[in-house]
A = this chain, B = another copy of it.
Amino acid sequence: MIYLKTMVTALLLGSVPIQTALAAECLPPDPTLMRGFPPPVEKRVTPENLMQHPQNRWAFQHMREVVPTREIAHSEAPVSVITENPLDLDSLSFELPEGRKLSLTQWMQESCTDSFLVMHRGKLVYERYFSGMTAATPHQMFSATKSWVATVALQLIEEGRLDPGRTMVSYIPELKGSAFAQATVQQVLNMTTSIRFSEEYTDPKADIWQYGAVFAIGGTPGADYKGPRRVEEYLPTLNKGEAPHGKGFHYVTPNTDALAWINSRITGKSTSELFSERFLQPLGAEHGAYFWTAGGVEMAGGGLNISARDAARFGQMILNKGRFNGRQILAPAVAARILAPGNPDTFSVFYDDPWYQNVGYAYHDMWWTFDNAHKAVSAIGVHGQFIYLDPIANMVVIKQSSHPDAEGASNENDGPAIWHQIARHLMQHDH
């Protein structure tokens, strides 16, 4: 657990000190951050501090004000209507895995929630915003982005344009000699590639720093940084690990950037263009969405910013067998594949933390799966981002957060348990 936690923290936190797995205090948003003309120096959110608490409570709703971003066009199509059927779940009470009891409202506060939406049977039954967020706010999604990128790839596979059994180097010759070269597309999708991925904080040449440097996470590196500064320089430098490809799950963010490279090479389109034409336009998205970019390349591993409702449209479309807004957006086979259970054996080869077993996590096709009674799957991003799909209850949960910890019990552990309880509640109570 700590292995994964540290690595993901490293990848997406850059220069921030490692957080513990214990939930830190969720500070209320500071209303004076980036306010006033000019904002006082100590109240400024910058590329250097945007991942830190409390700056992240502002930053995750305002990424475009701190870093370069690329719009994901959506306005050509009319907005699709989401039918509302509001239910009062505020005081719904849960027993957490640790034994403590609290209401949904209490838990949302404790877990630094910025948005929380529940769709049930295609209708929006619950919608709450906090910390100044509104229905129109694009929120930073971090690694939940990966599931969208992989969904593009799955659809390209279904269309016969991408062969999951072929090697990465057969699509991207630039990857020759790297860890990715002889890995198959499917191994990249499942993150069972064998990559020697260093996370040693004491080593300034560790790979984690280099991924951060490429995407200017934590700011543009100074002149003394001698490593790769561009994604196409960086990906080919990753070296293969000892294990054979396919042996076990190993969460390495650059897998997604390598996959996005293939998506774009095949289609001739940027990740933003693909998200626009494959998802936002046909879904009838309602709000502006955008990608954190660097040097004209989207951070495919974690740069999506989107409103809660548009994320819900995406999730509902998958539950609807790829259909939404009167259109078949994804092949039904792609939706079925996303909703397929993960393989706990492959998952646990390199991860033996009991926490995973407790929640029943596994991973395939860049979607997390849960070994619960409803066989839920989820897109997950650090600091508490979720697109949680429960196919039995026909329920979508969107949670966007700005937790001090990259990962923490309140989100990754309690979250799925609580949503499963919400699903059971919704199924048991007519509405």
- Residues of chain A at the chain B interface (Cβ within 8 Å): 34, 36-39, 41, 44-46, 64-71, 75, 136, 220, 222-223, 230-232, 260-261, 264-265, 270-271, 288, 290, 293, 295-297
Is A297 a contact partner of B65 (Cβ separation < 8 A)? no
Please report the C-alpha to C-alpha distance between residue A265 and residue B35 in the assembled complex, in whole angstroms: 11
Is A44 a contact partner of B296 (Cβ separation < 8 A)? yes
Give the residue name and chain of the B residue nearest to A286 (CB). B75
A260: B residues at CB distance < 8 A: 37
Is B65 a contact partner of A296 (Cβ separation < 8 A)? yes
A297: B residues at CB distance < 8 A: 37-39
A215 to chain B, nearest CB (A): 12
Contacting residue for A38 out of B34, B69, B296, CB 8 A: B296
A255 to chain B, nearest CB (A): 16
A69: B residues at CB distance < 8 A: 64-65, 69
A265: B residues at CB distance < 8 A: 37
> 28 A-B residue contacts at CB 8 Å?
A34-B296, A37-B260, A37-B261, A37-B264, A37-B270, A37-B271, A37-B297, A38-B231, A38-B232, A38-B295, A39-B295, A39-B296, A39-B297, A41-B230, A44-B295, A45-B296, A64-B68, A65-B68, A65-B69, A65-B70, A65-B296, A66-B68, A67-B68, A69-B69, A71-B288, A222-B223, A223-B223, A288-B288
Please report the C-alpha to C-alpha distance between residue A69 and residue B222 in the assembled complex, in whole angstroms: 23
Is B64 a contact partner of A70 (Cβ separation < 8 A)? yes
